[in-house]
Amino acid sequence: MGVLMGVRLPRNYRPSEKERFMSDKMLEYFRRKLENWRDEILRESNQTLRHLQEDTSQEPDLADRASTETDRAIELRTRDRQRKLISKIDAALRRIEDKSYGYCEETGDPISLRRLEARPIATLSLEAQERHERRERTYRDD
């Protein structure tokens, strides 16, 4: 991430509505937040992978075997969700790099800091997201 090299954040820095939206400091804050989140997911994913590799024993009891297979299926689904989330985090990091991060893909308006704090991979403003979900429900109900 070369664009923000050298940006120093004060201890306990939190983006504020008072500063310029998506200043270098704010972008650096979200870059760090996203990278820490991705690192945490990768650590969990590696633990899941190790667990799947270690647990290759065949259970003699049919019920135990079914339980083991269910656990493996859940772990694999979790791992797939983690992979998709990492892809979204990487996309957000690319938006930080090209300085389009924090702006709604639909309207171009800034996404609220509260929304970005809660969901740093958000690509739509809350209003655009709600419109999108309403359209989805309408088509799904048909």
pTM above 0.85, yes or no: no
**Dihedral sign from CA coordinates of 110, 116, 120, 121:** negative
Ordered by where they begin, the domains of the chain are: 21-101 (1.20.120.910), 104-142 (no CATH)
Q: pLDDT tens-digit profile of 68-106?
A: 778 778 888 888 899 999 999 999 999 999 999 999 999
The CA–CA distances, whole Å, from 65 to 50, 58, 75 equal: 19, 7, 15
Lowest mean pLDDT among 82-86, 93-97, 122-126, 136-140: 136-140
